[in-house]
């Protein structure tokens, strides 16, 4: 049996088990709160693994190893920025967000912000939720498109068929079990991901040391042989250009400071303060191991195959992890780890989908509805989830060249992450910050990001940095010069 057949059989088996596990967990969903935030009853280790699978997914298994393979040591700054942001979020923000969400009985990210600023609660809920739903709506489509293209690359399946398969995996258990199903399937993804990111480097270092015919027999040797840009922490740039490279890579830090709703919701769903401490420890440990492993896999790939585009090198950097796994392991075990990478991408899509559905249902549709019949809320949430999934799939199909969608994905980290990180930080730590200033912050941050990226300024200085810095300045000025009531966050 060929490697492709083994990969296909393993992948199908894994996905079937994943769907079954998600549906099993969905049987415990009995209310709107169960559907939206798992009844605010998650064990710490479950919340941590779910948050990490959602936050990293294909980035840790495909994106970061690919960047390390193509860029060398300079990619360390991206890892440092991400790890610093994640550690800060778990150590400083997670328990505070959990306690605040419990205090206000908030079931969504937007509801937490609005209830912290009651003077403008209605407008905050509407504008913040609309912004999140709009951007994440296209983000979901991008995940469907990415799944279709991955299946096309690996098995020759038509991209549209691949998108339909990806959607068919995600939609049933997400509709049925909502946030609870999504979280518990994420746990499986996180375990498979960390196994891949530990086993790959351990076996990889041994492998390259005992195969002298490879491009290099050590990571250090591979980096030096590939050229100066691979061994430089600034990508061989100097002066101001080196600073731009380093700051741009580190700027991922700002998006982790409470501004990514799909991650923050995991903090809000933790059962109690004791479980929040367990979650903090698990989340930080997982992150440190995962990022070190992801970088190592990329550099091991450099030693095995040589630089991108060279004789024997890879044509597509983001397939360095699958190629390394197939080189190091028996096809069945390699297939399991590669399937985990594909399924990790699915974990992002289902999280984005349920977030968009709950934000739309709870913060846009429900305030406009005068009816509140028992059981109707849960049915409505499921209908909205299904509808958004179908429309997102349609948009992904219309934008087959993916340029428009992936531009919006970049907006998400800067526009949503940078903007709402400012809102969350000031809500938690500055009593004077008030509802009117929150509205100014959100409108400015989203608008600035769109203008900055579309005018090409993102190529000069990344919007991940500029959105956060300028939005923070505007938020402070709005708080000081616009009359308003202080927030209730403390």
- For the chain, the domains span 3-401
Q: Are 485 and 96 in contact (CB under 8 A)?
A: no
Instruction: Give 413's DSSP letter.
Output: I
Q: What is the mean pLDDT of residues 158-169?
A: 81
Tokens at residue 229, please?
């840009």
Q: Are 300 and 66 in contact (CB under 8 A)?
A: no
Q: Is the pLDDT of residue 67 over 70?
A: yes
C-alpha–C-alpha distance, residues 76 and 219, integer Å = 14
Q: Are 429 and 104 in contact (CB under 8 A)?
A: no
- The whole-number pLDDT of residue 487 equals 65
pLDDT band at 93 (very low <50, low <70, confident <90, very high): very high
C-alpha–C-alpha distance, residues 485 and 433, integer Å = 8
User: Tens digits of per-residue pLDDT, 99-111?
Assistant: 999 999 888 899 9
pLDDT-wise least confident of 112-116, 357-361, 423-427: 357-361
Tell the CATH topology of 3-401: Sodium/glucose cotransporter (1.20.1730)
Phi-psi region of 373 (alpha: psi -120 to 50; beta: other; left: phi over 0): beta
- What residues have CB less than 8 Å from 1, skipping those under 6 apart? none
- The whole-number pLDDT of residue 85 equals 94
Q: What is the mean pLDDT of residues 82-95?
A: 95
Give ∠ CA 8-196-72 in degrees, rounded to 5. Answer: 110
- The whole-number pLDDT of residue 404 equals 52
C-alpha–C-alpha distance, residues 159 and 356, integer Å = 24
- The whole-number pLDDT of residue 40 equals 84
Tokens at residue 156, please?
């020759």
- The whole-number pLDDT of residue 490 equals 47
* DSSP one-letter string for 358-383: HHHIIIIIHHH-----TTHHHHHHHH
Measured N-to-C along each axis, helices 261-268 and 94-104 cross at an angle, to the nearest 10 degrees, of 70
Give percent above pLDDT 90 in the chain. Answer: 41
pLDDT band at 159 (very low <50, low <70, confident <90, very high): confident
Tokens at residue 367, please?
């305030």
- pTM of the prediction? 0.86
Q: Specify the long-range contacts of residues 395-399, CB closer than 8 Å, at least 24 apart.
A: 395/137, 395/138, 395/141, 396/141, 396/142, 396/144, 396/145, 396/148, 396/163, 397/160, 397/163, 399/141, 399/145
Q: What is the mean pLDDT of residues 71-84?
A: 91
pLDDT-wise least confident of 42-51, 209-218, 282-291, 407-416: 407-416
Q: What is the mean pLDDT of the chain?
A: 84
Q: Give the residue ranges of DSSP H helices in 117-158.
A: 121-155
Burial class (CB in 10 A: 0-12, 13-18, 19+), 277: middle
- What residues have CB less than 8 Å from 276, skipping those under 6 apart? 44, 94, 95, 98, 267, 270
C-alpha–C-alpha distance, residues 105 and 451, integer Å = 36
Q: Is the pLDDT of residue 298 over 90?
A: yes
pLDDT-wise least confident of 23-32, 84-93, 309-318, 363-372: 363-372
C-alpha–C-alpha distance, residues 315 and 337, integer Å = 21
pLDDT band at 374 (very low <50, low <70, confident <90, very high): very low
φ and ψ at 311, to 5 degrees? -65, 120
CB count in 10 Å sphere of residue 474: 18
- The whole-number pLDDT of residue 423 equals 97
Q: Is the pLDDT of residue 262 over 50?
A: yes
Q: What is the mean pLDDT of residues 419-424?
A: 96
Tokens at residue 120, please?
């403008």
Phi-psi region of 156 (alpha: psi -120 to 50; beta: other; left: phi over 0): left
Measured N-to-C along each axis, helices 435-454 and 121-155 cross at an angle, to the nearest 10 degrees, of 30
In order of 97, 139, 365, 424, the CA distances from 445 in angstroms are: 22, 18, 24, 13
């Amino acid at each position: 049996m060929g490697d492709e057949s083994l990969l296909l059989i393993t992948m199908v088996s894994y996905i079937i088990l994943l769907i079954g596990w998600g549906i099993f967990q969905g049987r415990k969903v009995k209310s709107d709160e169960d559907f939206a935030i798992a009844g605010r009853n998650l064990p710490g280790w479950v919340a941590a693994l779910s948050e990490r699978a959602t936050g990293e997914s294909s980035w840790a298994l495909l994106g970061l190893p690919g960047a390390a393979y193509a860029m060398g040591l300079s990619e360390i700054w991206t890892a440092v920025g991400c790890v610093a942001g994640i550690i800060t979020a778990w150590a400083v923000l997670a328990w505070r967000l959990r306690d605040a969400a419990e205090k206000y009985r908030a079931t969504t990210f937007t509801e937490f912000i609005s209830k912290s600023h009651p003077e403008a609660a209605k407008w905050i809920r509407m504008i913040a939720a609309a912004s999140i739903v709009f951007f994440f709506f296209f983000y979901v489509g991008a995940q469907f498109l990415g799944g279709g293209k991955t299946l096309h690359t690996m098995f020759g399946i038509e991209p549209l068929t691949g998108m339909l398969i990806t959607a068919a995996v995600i939609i049933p258990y997400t509709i049925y079990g909502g946030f609870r199903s999504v979280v518990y399937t994420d746990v499986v993804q996180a375990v498979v991901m960390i196994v891949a990111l530990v086993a790959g480097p351990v076996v990889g270092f041994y492998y390259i040391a005992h195969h002298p015919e490879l491009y290099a027999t050590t990571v250090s040797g591979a980096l030096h042989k590939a050229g100066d840009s691979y061994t430089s922490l600034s990508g061989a740039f100097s002066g101001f250009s080196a600073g731009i490279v380093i700051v741009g890579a580190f700027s991922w830090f700002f998006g982790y400071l409470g501004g990514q709703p799909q991650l923050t919701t995991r903090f809000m769903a933790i059962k109690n303060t004791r479980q929040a401490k367990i979650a903090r420890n698990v989340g930080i440990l997982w992150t440190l191991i995962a990022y070190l492993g992801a970088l190592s896999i990329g550099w091991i790939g450099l030693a095995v195959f040589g630089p991108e585009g060279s004789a024997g090198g890879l044509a597509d950097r983001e397939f360095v992890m699958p190629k390394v796994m197939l080189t190091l392991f028996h096809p069945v075990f390699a297939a399991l780890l590669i399937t985990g990478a594909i399924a990790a991408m699915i974990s992002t899509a289902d999280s984005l989908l349920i977030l968009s559905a709950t934000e739309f249902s709870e913060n846009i549709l429900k305030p406009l509805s005068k009816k509140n019949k028992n059981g109707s809320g849960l049915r409505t949430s499921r209908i909205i989830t299904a509808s958004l999934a179908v429309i997102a799939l349609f948009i992904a199909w219309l934008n087959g060249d993916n340029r428009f969608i992936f531009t919006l994905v970049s907006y998400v980290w800067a526009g949503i992450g940078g903007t709402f990180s400012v809102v969350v930080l000031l809500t938690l730590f500055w009593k004077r910050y008030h509802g009117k200033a929150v509205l100014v912050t959100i409108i400015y941050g989203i608008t600035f990001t769109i203008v900055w990226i579309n005018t090409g300024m993102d190529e000069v200085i990344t919007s991940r940095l500029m959105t956060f810095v300028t939005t923070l300045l505007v938020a402070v000025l709005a708080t000081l010069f616009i009359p308003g009531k202080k927030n209730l966050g403390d």
